Structure 1
Amino acid sequence: MRDIAKGQDMPKSALTGSRIREHRLMRGIKQADLARSIGISASYLNLIEHNRRRIGGKTLRALSEVLKIDASTLTQGAERAVVTELQDAAASDSEVAVELDQIDDLVARFPGWAAKITAQHRRLRALEQTMGGLNDRLTHDPVLSEKMHEVLSTVSAIRSTASILVGTPDLGTDWQARFHSNIDTESRRLAESSASMASHLDRLSRRDTGRATPLEAVFAAFDGRGHHLAELEEGADPAELADKLPVLDSAEARSLARRYFETYRADARAMPLAEFEAAAQDAHLDPAALAGQFGVPLEAVFRRLASLPRSATLPDIGLVTCDASGALLVRKSPSGLALPWFGAGCPLWPLFAALSSPGVPLRRVVETEDGAQFVAMALAHPSGPLRFDRPPVYHATMLLVAQDDQSHTNTLPVGSSCRVCTRDDCDARREPTVLGRGQSQGLLTTGGNRS
């Protein structure tokens, strides 16, 4: 009874067990027969199918082989990301009450609608960022500021002249002619200034169509390929690849993508795919050993491991990079940990701790709220050449390797972001969760680290 109660207290994994049960029934396999074929008890499989026990990598792979289905189809990685985004969408409009406790059911029963909602939410957030960028541009763009000043000055001059004409009916003919001439001149100037400002705004609007920022477009390009770019593996030109990808819908996005693609191609040349895959297996994915073998920096090995194509022999691998401000520059979400599309990540990630000790590699086993465990390896490194006349600029890169054996005890509890994290006792929390569980709603205080 104690074990069952403990299982009920575990975070609900709403889809993995349900999908196992669904595919078993579709194939007409009895629960006892399936359990026997993979070497577990029927009662334990029953708990898995009813989402009351987590399932490790070895058991999951065994089930996928018997059910003749890809293991990734049974996992909850993609759905976890959708659930996280739906939770964030719920937070964006606090005036509308939603059933937060039924989000898992929505994703399970109506995956198409769930994907549609998250896509629309993503688009709304992108538009909000675009509007914010345009507002900043209106405020700080010197061209717009000058043209707006011209328009307002001209309008004031026309109004002043017109007021004199209306308020002084006994003006002589010569003065009236002068004032009419002034109004005509200022009106022409107003038309020219307005047309020039409209032309400038039109150029800005054409430049700002598409995604919120060029970086988001680059994110989408990598996500759409699973972070494995076969063209660059074969030696394609980064500029040509950037020019032909529709998601890179602006000159700025294509320019930024070329830089990322050039880094990818350089990594591929230094660590050829077939040779690196074999070495990674032999080294048990040890980045330090691989860095020494190929004579490359540790962060390059992080990137290369994250770019490997999905394989049944490889664990799920994620990657995230930030600059010294903590802004996310690269993001590849592993199954079980949805990295945020917008805003900041979890302050407890080793990614940010690495920034305080540049050049010192960190390794921690982190655990999500759902119990997924990852080996997180992070390093802060210079983002460009070191110079004597200016301070170095650092980036931090973190590799996340999913663990089949989730039995580590000395783990670091982490989340996706504070907005969708329900851990009640967290000194790193900077805002209350939108999920309304426990005491996390009241962590915005004026003292200590709880800010």
Structure 2
Amino acid sequence: MPKSALTGSRIREHRLMRGYKQADLARQIGISASYLNLIEHNRRRIGGKTLLALSEVLGIDPSTLSQGAERAVVTELQDAAATDTNTAVELDQIDDLVARFPGWAAKITAQHRRLRALEQTVGGLNDRLTHDPVLSEKMHEVLSTVSAIRSTASILVATPDLGTEWQARFYSNIDTESRRLAESSASMAAHLDHLSRRDTGSATPLEAVFAAFDARGHHLVELEQGGDPESLTAQMPELDSAEARSLALHYFGVYLADVQAMPLEVFEAAAHEVRFDPAALAVQFGVPLQAAFRRLASLQRSATIPDIGLVSCDASGALLVRKSPSGLALPWFGAGCPLWPLYAALNAPGVPIRRNIESEDGTQFTAMALAHPAGPLRFDRAPVYQSIMLLVAHDRNASGTPLSVGSSCRVCARDGCDARREPTVLTRGLNNGVLTSGGNPV
């Protein structure tokens, strides 16, 4: 709905607040009551002369009546509605809500932002506890030391007639392992304290860059409006190191180039026309397919724009870019699920792959992947490839049997997967009183 279409709703609200009857107001500005009624119900456009007369009688600035609802508020309300699919909402009346009750609209969007931020924080903490290489190493040291102490203590208890010399050795081992446990625990606590004291909690420059992207929904309004990447890096608290700011300039430069090649309003309209087909968009705008992937992932989710995720990796499988869609968490560290089309694309560089996939919670996506050269092709060296995968959420009525995938092996509970490279850390249940993890006693 165009912004001007809400002018009538605002006129009606201001008339009622001032206690005017429709017929009285119409008479004062020289139009019929029936015509004013059509204007107030957004069924007739309002000319500049009539608008000025109305604003003068109502005692308000003309821009207050003519200015449309903020796009950001409308978009956030649409996103909130799309997130909670269990509650039916009147999507066709969102614009009217923003126009008539701006305070309530702002309150709802603020709560939605807060909820989304909390969900991202919880997801990030869960991801970090699972994949942080430093934390994993410290945890392994602690568990190994505890196991050693327990084993030594069990021998002492089970063997009361142990010789004095052997007892001394075991006591010495317990003392040594206890010191090691104290050092490992202190080191792990220091690492956690270091993360908690940082604004972003980012362990690497790349993680800091995408923490900044995540905080903004991967939609950088400043760059959409032609802003300067260097100025933007200075405004982001997540970029708390020179290395992070330098890396951010690279990614912001790519984002700005995509904006210039595919302006937002034109691209969004075209995306709706081709039903978010990146191949059609790449042809229409004359850009590489991977650029169309990135631009689609930068669109703000709404009632008319599906949930879109993006992930890329280098030839080693290490993740470079990650925008997690709802229903499929993408790991911060290491590689993702070996079954992702992202990795299959590396086996056939330059050949686009499309596959329907299903996450563990039943969310289905159309996954489109492509491996492309990371830089210019040269005769004197072999090309270096990167792979990129776009994830577009769809309903379960899509044709064909989807491929079941996970996030990564460590947090995937699927049984009988031939691609599994390590046991899951998720609790599987109790077996004879022993808590198991990935089928192994813990």
- TM-score normalised over the length of structure 1: 0.56
Q: Is the 8 A contact 2:127 2:332 kept in 1?
A: no
Question: How far apart are 1:287 and its partner, in Å?
Answer: 0.6
* 1:33-112 paired onto structure 2 within 5 Å: 60=85, 63-65=88-90, 79=119, 82=122, 86=126, 89=129, 93=139
Query: Deviation digits for residues 337-384 of structure 1, max 9, x if unmatched?
Result: 111122221111100110110000000111011100000000000111
User: SS of the residue aligned with 2:422?
Assistant: coil
Determine whether 1:424 maps to 2:424: no
Equivalent residue in structure 2 for 1:441, among 434, 438, 441:
438
Distance 1:233 1:79, change over 3 A: closer
Determine whether 1:349 maps to 2:340: yes
Determine whether 1:375 maps to 2:366: yes
Equivalent residue in structure 1 for 2:226, among 227, 230, 235:
235
Aligned equivalent of 1:273:
264
Question: How far apart are 1:441 and its partner, in Å?
Answer: 2.7
Aligned equivalent of 2:52:
none
Amino acid at match of 1:323: D
Query: Deviation digits for residues 238-283 of structure 1, max 9, x if unmatched?
Result: 1221133221111111111101000000000000000000000000
Amino acid at match of 1:362: I
Question: How far apart are 1:65 and its partner, in Å?
Answer: 2.9
Counterparts of 2:427 and 2:243, CA distance in 1:
40
* 1:173-188 paired onto structure 2 within 5 Å: none
CA RMSD of aligned residues (A): 3.8
Question: How far apart are 1:125 and its partner, in Å?
Answer: 7.5
Query: Deviation digits for residues 159-209 of structure 1, max 9, x if unmatched?
Result: xxxxxxxxxxxxxxxxxxxxxxxxxxxxxxxxxxxxxxxxxxxxxxxxxx9
Equivalent residue in structure 1 for 2:242, among 247, 251, 256:
251
* 1:15-26 paired onto structure 2 within 5 Å: none
* 1:144-163 paired onto structure 2 within 5 Å: none
Determine whether 1:395 maps to 2:392: no
Aligned equivalent of 1:41:
none
Query: Deviation digits for residues 73-95 of structure 1, max 9, x if unmatched?
Result: 9x999859946853873795588
Question: How far apart are 1:58 and its partner, in Å?
Answer: 12
Q: Is the 8 A contact 1:88 1:420 kept in 2?
A: no
User: SS of the residue aligned with 1:274?
Assistant: helix
Aligned equivalent of 1:283:
274
Distance 1:90 1:359, change over 3 A: closer
Determine whether 1:309 maps to 2:334: no
Q: Is the 8 A contact 1:88 1:419 kept in 2?
A: no
Question: How far apart are 1:127 and its partner, in Å?
Answer: 6.2
Question: How far apart are 1:399 and its partner, in Å?
Answer: 0.3
Distance 1:261 1:77, change over 3 A: closer
- TM-score normalised over the length of structure 2: 0.57
Q: Is the 8 A contact 2:425 2:437 kept in 1?
A: no
Alignment identity in percent?
63
Query: Deviation digits for residues 315-343 of structure 1, max 9, x if unmatched?
Result: 10000010111111110000011111222
Counterparts of 2:216 and 2:189, CA distance in 1:
19
Counterparts of 1:220 and 1:123, CA distance in 2:
22
Determine whether 1:328 maps to 2:319: yes
User: SS of the residue aligned with 1:344?
Assistant: coil
Distance 1:232 1:123, change over 3 A: farther
* 1:199-214 paired onto structure 2 within 5 Å: 211-214=202-205
Q: Which runs of 5+ in 1 are unaligned?
A: 1-55, 97-120, 129-208, 444-451
Distance 1:122 1:376, change over 3 A: farther
Distance 1:366 1:76, change over 3 A: farther
Counterparts of 1:293 and 1:126, CA distance in 2:
50
Q: Which runs of 5+ in 2 are unaligned?
A: 1-80, 95-107, 144-187, 430-435
Distance 1:428 1:250, change over 3 A: same
Question: How far apart are 1:235 and its partner, in Å?
Answer: 1.1
Higher relative contact order (CA 8 A, sep 6+): 1
Q: Is the 8 A contact 2:82 2:303 kept in 1?
A: no
Query: Deviation digits for residues 39-92 of structure 1, max 9, x if unmatched?
Result: xxxxxxxxxxxxxxxxx979938713389888x89x999859946853873795
Q: Is the 8 A contact 1:373 1:402 kept in 2?
A: yes
Question: How far apart are 1:211 and its partner, in Å?
Answer: 3.1
